[in-house]
Amino acid sequence: MPRPILATIHSAALSHNLARVRVAAPDARVWAVVKANAYGHGIERVFDALRSADGFALLDLAEAQRLRALDWRGPILLLEGCFEARDLELCSRLGLWHAIHCNEQIDRLAAHKTQLPHHVFLKMNSGMNRLGFTPERFRAAWTRLNALPQVDQISLMTHFSDADGPRGIEAQLQAFESVTHDLPGERTLSNSAATLRHGAVLDGRSDWVRPGIVLYGSAPDFPEHNVAHWGLQPTMTLSSRIIGLQQLRAGDSVGYGSSFVAEAPLRIGVVACGYADGYPRHCSTGTPVLVGGVRSRMVGRVSMDMITVDLSALPQAGMGSEVTLWGQSTTGAVLSIDEVAQAAGTVGYELMCAVAARVPFVLA
Ligand SMILES: *Cc1c(COP(=O)(O)O)cnc(C)c1O
């Protein structure tokens, strides 16, 4: 029998979450963001469930090729654009749309020989200060692109830094609109948090939304709101089984560094899942887990191949019991990846992207 750790990808949940995005942005087209191998889910695994999206957005050219290999003929957007001149040939050949965020990318496009003019997405740095032209430089970039025979369509994009928090999107939206109000072209503004939280303001202003994390059933503004609040379903379950049991006496410790000491007799289960599977080592005693669908907690340190869980309230649990590290148990109980991420001081994004190569995946 193989080691019992398993990552299950839930197709129906992916479709559900995409439908949820359509409710939040009824007039927009949807780029399903599938960068980072579909947030760790696997592009080939999510493709069927997400193929009713209007396009796919990502940033790795090899991933774009994988989408075309799946026979996806619709739009694909490279969110960071091209990294070197020969990427433009692939864009021409595969019909990829690409972001333009810097002058070097315009230079390369101006030198590119192509029969088919490109559809580009000119990116404004409206305050995030990562990629894009500042509002002061944006129109000059637009004018330069507009004069190139290599370009036939210019869409406009920006990215919000605080759509999930109290600063919101006002200042960036204002910066974007004051410079672009009289420019033609489609707009794409919203990530997941902007789509869910600022949909009313953005409705009619963003022709395309760019949801990523919501598609994968994680709340973009956890802990202010959780997945139940937003009506999202987890799309990835990391599960394993109990492979060992120990009965601790008061004063006994468990695991490396003896970081957890039992105050009273305590039955613990040893679970085949550790940081080498992608379970975050920063989780400490108290991190929630489901054992047979019932909530319990991890105790002690996460080691490479194992964690230990508290079975004191779970007399029915034993060798082979199902353990849900995050996602959906077979009983239907849900443990959101956001709660586990919070216990590790991180976000659901990082956990779902980091499931290790040794973990087998199945599509359900
Ligand atoms: C990753 C990314 C998104 C999606 O962000 P989520 O928070 O996962 O919705 C949207 N736009 C750009 C430019 C991105 O890089």
User: Can you tell me which atom of ligand 1 is nearest the CA of 157?
Assistant: 13
Q: Supply 251's token pair.
A: 């004063």
Ligand 1 pocket mutation, candidates 20, 33, 352, criterion most atoms within 8 A of CB: 33
pLDDT on residue 196: 97
Residue 359 pLDDT grade (very low, low, confident, very high; cuts 50, 70, 90): very high
Distance CA 68, CA 71 (A): 5
Q: Whose CA is nearest to atom 4 of ligand 1?
A: 212
**189: CA distance to ligand 1 center in Å?**
10
pLDDT at 1 over 80: no
Nearest CA to ligand 1 atom 15: 79
Average pLDDT value for the chain: 97
* CATH T-level fold of 236-363: Lyase, Ornithine Decarboxylase; Chain A, domain 1 (2.40.37)
Which residues belong to the active site? 35, 256
* Cβ of 220 below 6 Å from ligand 1: yes
Q: Is the pLDDT of residue 203 over 90?
A: no
In this structure, the dihedral spanned by the alpha carbons of residues 138, 143, 149 and 150, taken in order and rounded to 10 degrees, is 0
Whether CATH 3.20.20.10 fits 11-220: yes
Alpha-carbon gap, residue 146 to 323, rounded angstroms: 56
Which of ligand 1's atoms lies nearest the C-alpha of 99? 13
62: number of Cβ within 10 Å? 8
Portions of the chain given CATH number 3.20.20.10: 11-220
pLDDT band at 237 (very low <50, low <70, confident <90, very high): very high
Q: Which of 76, 129, 210 to mutate to test the pocket of ligand 1 (most atoms within 8 A of CB)?
A: 210
Residue 132 has a pLDDT of 98
Task: State the pLDDT confidence band at 115, using cuts at 50, 70 and 90.
Answer: confident
pLDDT confidence of residue 182:
97
Ligand 1 mean position, distance from CA 66 (Å): 20
Whether the full predicted model's pTM is greater than 0.85, yes or no, is yes
40 C-beta closer than 6 A to ligand 1 = no
Residue owning the nearest CA to atom 6 of ligand 1: 212
Gap between the Cα atoms of 303 and 310, Å rounded:
16
Which atom of ligand 1 is nearest the CA belonging to 33?
A: 4
How far is the centre of ligand 1, averaged over its atoms, from the C-alpha of 30 (Å)?
12
- 84 burial type by CB count under 10 A (0-12 exposed, 13-18 middle, 19+ buried): exposed
Give the pLDDT confidence of 301-339 residue by residue, as tens digits: 999 999 999 999 999 999 999 999 999 999 999 999 999
Helices marked H in 55-164: 61-69, 85-94, 103-111, 135-146
Q: What is the pLDDT of residue 102?
A: 98
* Per-residue pLDDT tens digits for 242-297: 999 999 999 999 999 999 999 999 999 999 999 999 999 999 999 999 999 999 99
